[in-house]
Chains A and B, each alone.
Chain A
Amino acid sequence: MRDLPVMARAYVSAVVIVGTLILAGGVLHLDRSNILTAVTLVGLFAVTHLTRSPLRNNTATVRVINISVVMPISIAAVMLLGPWTAPLVAAAVFVDPGNQWFRRFFNVGMVAIAVCVSSIVYVSLGGEPITSTTDFRDPRAVLIPVLVAALVMEAVNALLLVTVIAITQNVSPLRVWFGKMSESAFPMFIYSIFGLLLAVVWSYVGPISAVLVLAPLMVARWVFAEFSLRQEAYEATMRSLIKSVETKDLYTRGHSERVSRASVLIGRRAGLREDRVVTLRYAGMLHDVGKLGVPTSVLQKAGRLTEDEFEAIQKHPLRGREITKDLEFLGEAIEGILYHHERIDGRGYPDGLTGAEIPEFARIIAVADAFDSMTTTRSYRGARSIEDAIEELIRCKGSQFDPVMVQALTEAIEAEGWDASDTLPTDLPAAVAGLPSFASDDDDPTAAGRLGLPTATPDDASELESDPAAGTVVEERS
């Protein structure tokens, strides 16, 4: 808390104070008629809150819908207890081992305020506290007020939460909202119907209804948790299989992972939609998967390659497509893999596409790919500095690279920095005797002179002088 900005501290304190006042009011209004309901709801809330699935945010692509029990039980409290005592359920949020104290206090305050406002809305819309004599058949008596109250509760909750994240982390509130929260807004609303369910059944069969209501809720949560586990497993599998391509060459270790990261940086800068960025990540990860099929003896060959061997390497984008073409979820990533060695001036492979003919993903990966191979140690030279690499990219933009993407990478690295980790120790000599050398490095624009290119294909990567005329192709595109 102490390291937070003054604004944030003031805001958090305000929320906590208001929440405490609301809770104090609730305690004063407890009496014989409602204490059993209130205590059961708080207990229920605490138990489900404790067993919630942790929201995983270590992998950027994992989209988890965290089924919150805050909504359903709060809604049930609104309907069963009324505006004074309903906010008491918020106290259960305090049971949150491992979380920082100020966050716990804030969460309690936030939920108390949201429940209180929502209760007031419920009552003022004519919603009645649920008893065993409530007539549920009239939608105006219960259904409509409760749905509006749920919306209001969610809105107040989101507003308070987005604000605190925006202030403490100094990001735009819109970004916070559209980051992860907007996705769960609709499911949360749907799940507030569990609250209605709980209240109705409660009035009829009493607290035993909690068990019945919790069953589907727990199942849904369990499935979502399984889902996110599966997705993680899935990512991990893919990553490790990709790594197996890199075991073939010590010098390219971590390459796919970094290209994937750099591609995401470029894609975000270039304003790609978030779901496309996810696909782009996969594309970056898999861009060299076709090399898995190239015999190791060719990949590791020191010295000149024969024409056949060179062809085998040049086929890797085609092989990559061959391998990935059945993966429906990859979508445009497959094109990105196929064309990541195309050049803006049309001298790339496999199809010699030019300018905007090259799919956007391929243009992004091409830049990321070149950038990473320049900034890491290769058998024939040491790693270059980031500045040098960017300079080289700029020199080749318009001929080899899309200037928009080069610009995007430059900006992104300026803003966010770049960590070329997972590379070899810097003291590794550029050419260690006995280590396989990556003679076929066609990712690195500066390596062209080193390629053992047969004279039959002089165009492919032999010279990289920027062609002033070629630059216009891409600029017109945008």
Chain B
Amino acid sequence: MRTKLAVLAAGFGLCSLVAPVVAHHGFDTEYDAKKKVSLAGVITKIEWTNPHMHVYIDVTDASGKVASWNLEMASPNTVLRQGWGRNSLLPGEKVVFEGYGGLVVETRGALARIAKADTPDKPLFIQGGPEAAPGFPAR
């Protein structure tokens, strides 16, 4: 019983969040719906700042070349109100993520989904992509 409770508590701590994508300025002004990526990498930095958190991830390709991604996320206020804490996501962690590349700077993207590499089907964060923007109650 205690183990189950502990697991449940841990699971709750790793809750997945759904947020409207870049609600305060349009997705189309900065990101490209056609540039959807699905990658794996290591977190190098997390900025708990407004108006958007930024998660920096180094992605190494097959040839060994490293691309440094800067991914925009929801405001820290939004994720904190839904149960995230300072240790929910940390530099050094291996992650798998989905995002949309920038219109001009491709590695400056919008984060759509992120999960720890060893539990890829348990996302920590889910954000609607461009298909979620029209009609979404993102007032």
A binds B: no
